[in-house]
Amino acid sequence: QVQLVESGGGLVQAGGSLRLSCLASGRTFSRYALSWFRQAPGKEREFVAAISGSGGIRKHADSVKGRLTISRDNARNTVYLQMSSLKPGDTAIYYCAARTTYGSPWSGEYEFWGQGTQVTVSS
C-alpha cells in the first residue's frame, strides 16, 4: 500500500512558476513508478508526466514539454512537478499516482492516488 499526499498548489500569474510535491508513505517507494495527472473543470483527467522507480526514465505529455518537469527523490519518498511558464490552460487539480510498472498514460491503470492539489493560473 502507498499513501500519497500532494502539496504546493496555489494561485499564480501567467508566466509564473510553482513546484508541486507528492509525499509517499511506506518503505518501498523506489519500487513504484509515479505519475502526475491533472483534471480541469468539465474535462477528463489528463496525463502530465511519468517517472520510473529509479528516476532514470521519464516522459512528459506534449502539451507540457519544456515547461513542466517531473523528478523524484527516493531518499525523501517524494516526487516533484516543477512548473514554469505557466498558462491559464494549466489550471486544474493536479494528482500524483503510483503503480508498480512505469509509464502508462491511462489513469485507470493506477492503483494509488493522492487527494489532489489545486493550481490556478490567472491571465
DSSP H or E run through 11: strand 10-13
What pLDDT does residue 26 have? Answer: 79
C-alpha cell of 38? 491533472
Grade residue 1 by pLDDT with cuts at 50, 70 and 90: confident
Proportion of the chain above pLDDT 90, given as a percent: 92
Reduce the DSSP state of residue 103 to 3 states and report it.
Answer: coil
**What pLDDT is stored for residue 32 in this prediction?**
95
Predicted pLDDT of residue 103: 83
Residue 98 pLDDT > 80: yes
**Mean pLDDT of the chain, nearest integer:** 96
- Taking the C-alpha atoms of residue 35 and residue 9, their distance in angstroms, rounded to an integer, is 16
Q: Is the pLDDT of residue 27 over 80?
A: no
pLDDT at 76: 95
